[in-house]
Amino acid sequence: MLTSRRDREKEFKKQLIAEAAYTLFSSSSFEAVTVEDIARQAEFGKGTLYLYFENKVDILIYIFCHGVEELCKDIIAQCSEEPDVGEALNRYMNLQYSFYQKYHSMFLSLLRRKIEGTLNPDQFLDTVRKQDVITDLVAGILERGTREGYIVAVDSRKLARVIRNVLKGFSFEALDRKSIDTEKDLELIKMVLSNGIIVGGGRQ
């Protein structure tokens, strides 16, 4: 649906503010960055910033949700349309792991506020809904793999969540352990998810 020029300009300015905030959140932390810092980085007045976002958390949610939306587009383009299920899953794991590497500290800031009860429940629910779209996309690939005899016949949405949470857990661990080789970790994840850990398939 076409939007008005005013809507396009508003979205453009929101993206400029979000990009400035992302730069600051990435180099410091959500907690250390102030609204004044974001306005200065975006080269806007503080009052102008409040025309587009209610507060700093609102900016954080916008950044994270925009990232999820872009990830969904990439999954559709690079994975859902890939005829080879194995390659589709390989590409998905690369994309999802890179996403967590990029946004993990911001996601933890959102989660911290959810636990503390300082985050609007509707706002957090919006982030969950957007992530559910990813689950549905990956489940579709897994179901295709099951039909082709490539993937075990289990609940595809639960399996999609297992894969996503394994990737998430490894990426979060890297927050405290800077010496971790993330590329080797990703290869290990792929190997375990593809082949399991029991030699020869385990007991008969």
Burial of 71 (0-12, 13-18, 19+ CB in 10 A): buried
201 occurs within a structural domain: no
Kindly report, residue by residue over 169-203, the tens digit of the pLDDT. 888 776 666 667 788 889 999 998 888 877 765 55
* Structural domain ending residue among the three candidates 9, 27, 53: 53
Question: Which H helix or E strand runs over 197?
Answer: none
pLDDT at 20: 96
Q: In the chain, how many domains are there?
A: 2
pLDDT-based confidence at residue 38 (cuts at 50, 70, 90)? very high
Based on the fold, state whether residues 36 and 102 are members of the same structural domain: no
pLDDT at 14: 95
Identify the CATH number of the domain in which residue 59 sits. Answer: 1.10.357.10
Identify the CATH number of the domain in which residue 27 sits. Answer: 1.10.10.60
Kindly report, residue by residue over 7-23, the tens digit of the pLDDT. 888 999 999 999 999 99
Q: What is the mean pLDDT of residues 92-111?
A: 91
pLDDT at 179: 64
Based on the fold, state whether residues 63 and 116 are members of the same structural domain: yes
Measure Cα distances from 110 to 12, 64, 65, 119, 127 in Å: 24, 9, 11, 8, 10
118 occurs within a structural domain: yes
48 occurs within a structural domain: yes
Q: What is the mean pLDDT of residues 111-115?
A: 87
Kindly report, residue by residue over 126-147, the tens digit of the pLDDT. 888 989 999 999 999 999 999 9
Between CA 158 and CA 70 the distance in angstroms is: 23
| Helix count and strand count (H, E) for the chain | 8, 0
Based on the fold, state whether residues 48 and 67 are members of the same structural domain: no
Percent of the chain beyond pLDDT 90? 61
Domain coverage including residue 165: 55-196
Based on the fold, state whether residues 64 and 44 are members of the same structural domain: no
Closest by Cα among 174, 37, 204 to 104 = 174
Based on the fold, state whether residues 41 and 70 are members of the same structural domain: no
Based on the fold, state whether residues 7 and 95 are members of the same structural domain: no
Q: Record the pTM.
A: 0.87
DSSP-derived letter for residue 165 is H
Based on the fold, state whether residues 81 and 130 are members of the same structural domain: yes
pLDDT at 170: 84
